[in-house]
Amino acid sequence: MSLTDEQRKTIVILEMEKARDSYKATEILADAKLWSNAANRLYYALFHAVCALLIHDGFEVNTHKGARIMLGQHYIKTGKLPIRYNQLFSQMETIRENGDYNHFYSVSPEEMIDRLLPAKEMIDTIAKMVQY
């Protein structure tokens, strides 16, 4: 898929808006102690921010796995982003999948509380990188 600079800019803005909105929803759900739902929204906040970054830099995002792999290849291994962001993104993907699909798994408050601020930091860092 080939995008014009204007199309790319628009998509990046929309992805960052989704990231911010999903993070706000995470805070609301965490306050209500709805941990599985908060995990879902936090993962998607990170996913949309990562997509914004990848699209900003001309990469095509087709899958969740692809976004995770490209984040590692193009930003973590090159030192553009710290390894803790890749770890956070991977952890939240696993927590979200377990919370959404494993009937015997409950997302704990500790899993979420310890990840809220690092996720906000990651989103804010990406926002600066894409100039949003």
pTM above 0.75, yes or no: yes
- pLDDT tens, position by position, 40-56: 999 999 999 999 999 99
Q: State how far the Cα of 94 lies from the Cα of 104, in Å rounded to an integer.
A: 14
- pLDDT tens, position by position, 65-92: 999 999 999 999 999 999 999 999 999 9
Ordered DSSP codes for 107-130: --HHHHHHHHHHHHHHHHHHHHHT
Tokens (6 digits) for 95? 């927590």
Q: State how far the Cα of 19 lies from the Cα of 43, in Å rounded to an integer.
A: 9
Q: How many Cα atoms within 13 Å fall on the side-chain side of residue 32?
A: 11
Q: What is the pLDDT of residue 3?
A: 87
Q: State how far the Cα of 72 lies from the Cα of 59, in Å rounded to an integer.
A: 13
Tokens (6 digits) for 69? 């792999």
Nearest Cα to Cα of residue 50 among 71, 66, 22, 69: 71
Q: What is the pLDDT of residue 1?
A: 57
Nearest Cα to Cα of residue 39 among 86, 83, 105, 84: 105
Fold of 5-129: Four Helix Bundle (Hemerythrin (Met), subunit A) (1.20.120)
